[in-house]
Chain A
Amino acid sequence: MKKGFVHEINFTVNGIKRALSVHSNETLLKVLREHYGLTGAKEGCGGGECGACTVLLNGSPVNSCLVLAVEADNAHILTIEGIAAKDSIHPIQQAFIEYGAVQCGFCTPGMIMTAYALLQKNPDPDEAQIKRALSGNLCRCTGYVQIIEAVKAAAKRMKGKRG
Chain B
Amino acid sequence: MKHYSSVGKNVKRYDAEEKVKGTSVFTDDLNFPGTLYAGVYRSPESCGRIKKINTVKAAKIPGVRAVMTAKDIPGRNIVPVVFDDQPLLAEKYVRYHREPLAIVAADDRNTLKKALKAIECDIEETEGVFTIRESLKKKRIVNGLYKDNIFQQYVVEKGDVKKAFAGAFLTVKNSYSTNYQEHAYLEPQSMLVKPELNGIFSVFGSMQCPFYVQDAVSAVLGIGLANVSVHLMSTGGGFGGKEDVPSIVAAVAALLSHRTGRPVKYILDRDEDISVMSKRHPSYIEYESAFSKNGKLLGVRTDYYLDAGAYSTLSPIVLWRGVIHAVGPYECPAVSIKGYAVATNKVPCGAYRGFGTPQIIFASETQMDIAAEKLGIDPVRIRELNAFKKGSETATGQVLKESIGIRKTIDAAVSRCDIGKTRSEIASFNKKQRYKKRGLGISCLFYGVGLGARGGPLQKGGAFVSVFKDGTVQFSVGTAEMGQGMYTVLGQIVSESFGINPSAVLPQRVSTEKVGDSGPTVASRATFISGNALLIACDKIKSSLLSFMLSEKMIRKASDVKFEKGYVYTGGKKKIPFTELSSKAWAGRVKMAEYGWYLPQGTSFDIRTGRGDAYVVYSYATNIAIVEVDMLTYRTKVLKLISAEEFGKVVNPLLAEGQIQGGNAQGIGWSLYENMVVKNGKILTDDFSTYLIPSILDIGQIEPVIVEEPYKGGPWGAKGMGEMPLMGIAPSIGNAIYDATGTRLKKVPFTPEDICNGHKSK
Contacts of B184 in A (CB 8 A): 138, 140
User: A residues within 8 A CB of B457?
Assistant: none
A144 partner residues in chain B, CB cutoff 8 A:
661, 665, 696, 699
Do A104 and B661 contact each other (CB < 8 Å), given the known contacts A1-B110, A45-B270, A46-B269? no
The stretch of A4-12, A68-76, A107-115, A117-125 that contacts the partner chain: A107-115
A106 touches B696 (CB 8 A): no
Residue from A42, A44, A103 whose CB has the most chain B CB atoms within 10 Å: A103
The one of B18, B269, B693, B702 in contact with A138, judged by C-beta atoms closer than 8 angstroms, is B693
State whether the Cβ of B415 lies closer than 8 Å to any Cβ in chain A. Answer: no
A58-85 contacts to B (CB < 8 Å) = 79-81, 84
Q: Are A146 and B29 in contact (CB under 8 A)?
A: no
B688 touches A49 (CB 8 A): yes
Chain A CB within 8 A of B13 CB: yes
Which of A42, A98, A102: most chain B Cβ within 10 A? A102
Question: What is the CB-to-nearest-CB distance from A145 to chain B, in angstroms, rounded to a whole number?
Answer: 5
Contacts of A94 in B (CB 8 A): 20
Is B697 part of the contact surface with A, judged by Cβ < 8 Å? yes
A105 touches B19 (CB 8 A): yes
Other-chain residue from A44, A102, A132 in contact with B186 (beta carbon distance below 8 A): A44
Residue among A1, A104, A107, A132 with the highest chain B CB neighbour number at 10 A: A104
Interface size on B, residues (CB 8 A): 56
Within the assembled complex, what's the spacing in Å between the Cα atoms of A47 and B695? 16
For residue B15, which residues in chain A have a CB less than 8 angstroms away from its CB? 102, 105
Are B239 and A80 closer than 8 Å at their CB atoms?
no
B485 and A103: CB pair below 8 A? Answer: yes
Cross-chain contact B696 with A137 (CB below 8 angstroms): yes
Complex contact B661–A145 (CB within 8 A): yes
Chain A nearest CB from B523 CB (Å) reads 19
- Shortest Cβ distance from residue A58 to the other chain B in the assembled complex, whole angstroms: 20
Q: Is the CB of B696 within 8 A of A131?
A: yes
Contact A143 B484 (CB under 8 A): no
Chain A residues with CB under 8 Å of B482's CB are 104
Taking the complex as formed, is B655 at the interface, i.e. its CB lies under 8 A from any CB of chain A? Answer: yes
Q: How far is the CA of A135 from the CA of B694 in the complex (A)?
A: 10
Interface residue? B235 (CB, 8 A): yes
Report whether A50 and B662 are in contact in the complex, using a CB–CB cutoff of 8 Å: no
CB neighbours of B662 from chain A (8 A): 103, 140-143
- CB interface residues, B 213-250, toward A, < 8 Å: 234-237, 239
Residues 657-683 (chain B) with a chain A CB within 8 angstroms: 657-658, 660-666
Q: A141-B662, A142-B661 in contact; A81/B185 too (CB < 8 A)?
A: no
Verify if B708 is at the interface (C-beta below 8 Å from A): no
Q: Does A56 contact B (CB under 8 A)?
A: no
In the bound assembly, the distance between CA atoms of A49 and B186 in angstroms comes to 11
In the complex, whether B551 has a CB less than 8 A from a CB of chain A is no
Distance of A141 Cα from B26 Cα, bound (Å): 16
- Cα-based distance from A98 to B664 in the complex (angstroms): 21
Determine if B696 and A147 form an interchain contact, defined as CB atoms under 8 angstroms apart: yes
Residues of B within 8 A of A97 (CB): 12-13, 16-17, 20
Of all chain A residues, the one with the shortest Cβ separation from B22 is: A40
Which of B31, B185, B654 has a CB less than 8 Å from the CB of A140? Answer: B185
**A47→B270 contact, CB < 8 A:** yes
Contact residues in A for B663 (Cβ distance below 8 Å): 143
Report whether A81 and B21 are in contact in the complex, using a CB–CB cutoff of 8 Å.
Answer: yes
Determine which of A104, A108, A140, A145 lies in contact with B20 in the assembled complex, contact meaning CB atoms within 8 Å: A108
Alpha-carbon gap, A81 to B24, bound state (A): 11
The closest CB in chain B to the CB of A104 belongs to: B483
Partner of A104, one of B235, B657, B687, B696: B235
Contact check, B234 vs A105: say whether CB atoms are below 8 A apart: yes
B18, B22, B664 — most chain A CB neighbours (10 Å): B22
- Residues from chain A with Cβ under 8 Å of B664 in the complex: 143
Interface pair B22/A135, CB less than 8 Å apart: no
Given A80-B22, A81-B21, A140-B184, check contact A45 B661 (CB 8 Å): no
Q: Which of A41, A44, A132 has the most CB of B within 10 A?
A: A44
Tell me if A80 and B665 are in contact (CB < 8 A): no
Q: For the complex formed, measure the closest distance between the CB of A66 and the CB atoms of chain B, giving whole angstroms.
A: 13
Does B23 sit at the interface, judged by CB under 8 A?
Answer: yes
Contact A103:B484 (CB < 8 A) given known A81-B21, A145-B661: yes
CB contacts (< 8 Å) of A37 on chain B: these are 31
**Contact code string B537-558 (vs A, CB < 8 Å = 1, else 0):** 0000000000000000000000
B21 lies within 8 A of A143 (CB): no
Q: A residues within 8 A CB of B695?
A: 135-136, 138
Contact (Cβ within 8 A) A145 B702:
yes
Within B166-186, which residues are at the interface with A (CB < 8 Å)?
183-186
In chain B, what residue has the closest Cβ to A47? B687
Residue in chain A with minimal CB distance to B663:
A143
Among B1-49, those with CB < 8 Å from A are 10, 12-13, 15-26, 28-29, 31
Q: Determine whether B322 belongs to the interface, using a CB cutoff of 8 Å to chain A.
A: no
B688 to A96, Cβ gap below 8 A?
Answer: no
Determine which of B10, B21, B658 lies in contact with A93 in the assembled complex, contact meaning CB atoms within 8 Å.
Answer: B21
Q: Does B761 reach chain A (CB closer than 8 Å)? A: no
- Rounded to whole Å, the gap between the CB of B274 and the closest CB of chain A is 10
Once bound together, how far apart are the Cα atoms of A132 and B696, in whole Å?
8
Contacts of B187 in A (CB 8 A): 42, 44, 104, 106
Closest to A40 in B: B22
Q: Does B188 contact A (CB under 8 A)?
A: yes
**CB <8 Å contact, B22 and A109:** yes
Q: Which residue of B lies closest to A93 (CB)?
A: B20
Contact status A89-B17, CB under 8 Å? yes
B534 to chain A, nearest CB (A): 22
> B20: which A residues are within 8 A, CB to CB?
89, 93-94, 96-97, 102, 105, 108-109, 112
**Within the complex, which residue of A42, A107, A142 is in contact with B658, where a contact is CB–CB below 8 Å?**
A142
- What's the Cα separation between A102 and B16 when bound, in Å? 6
Inter-subunit contact A44/B270 (CB<8 Å) = yes
A137 to B697 Cα, complex, angstroms: 11
- Complex CA gap A104/B13 in Å reads 11
Given A142-B662, A143-B665, are A104 and B186 also a contact pair (CB < 8 Å)? yes
Find chain B residues with CB under 8 A from A49 CB: 270, 687-689
A134 within 8 Å of B (CB atoms): yes
Closest to B15 in A: A105
Contact of B236 among A104, A131, A132 (CB under 8 A): A104
Chain B residues with CB under 8 Å of A136's CB are 695
Tell me the B140-179 residues at the A interface (CB within 8 Å).
none
Q: Are A44 and B110 in contact (CB under 8 A)?
A: no
A136 to chain B, nearest CB (A): 8
Which of B236, B269, B658, B689 lies in contact with A100, CB distance below 8 A?
A: B658
Q: Which 3 A-B pairs have the closest CB atoms?
A: A40-B22, A104-B483, A105-B19
Measured CB to CB, the residues of B under 8 A from A are 10, 12-13, 15-26, 28-29, 31, 110, 183-188, 234-237, 239, 269-270, 482-485, 654-655, 657-658, 660-666, 687-689, 693, 695-697, 699, 702
Contact sample, A vs B, 14 pairs, CB 8 Å cutoff: A39-B22, A42-B236, A45-B687, A52-B186, A80-B21, A100-B657, A102-B13, A103-B662, A105-B483, A106-B236, A138-B695, A140-B239, A141-B662, A143-B661
Known: A43-B28, A79-B22; 8 extra A-B contacts, CB below 8 A, are A49-B689, A93-B17, A96-B20, A105-B19, A138-B693, A141-B662, A145-B702, A147-B696
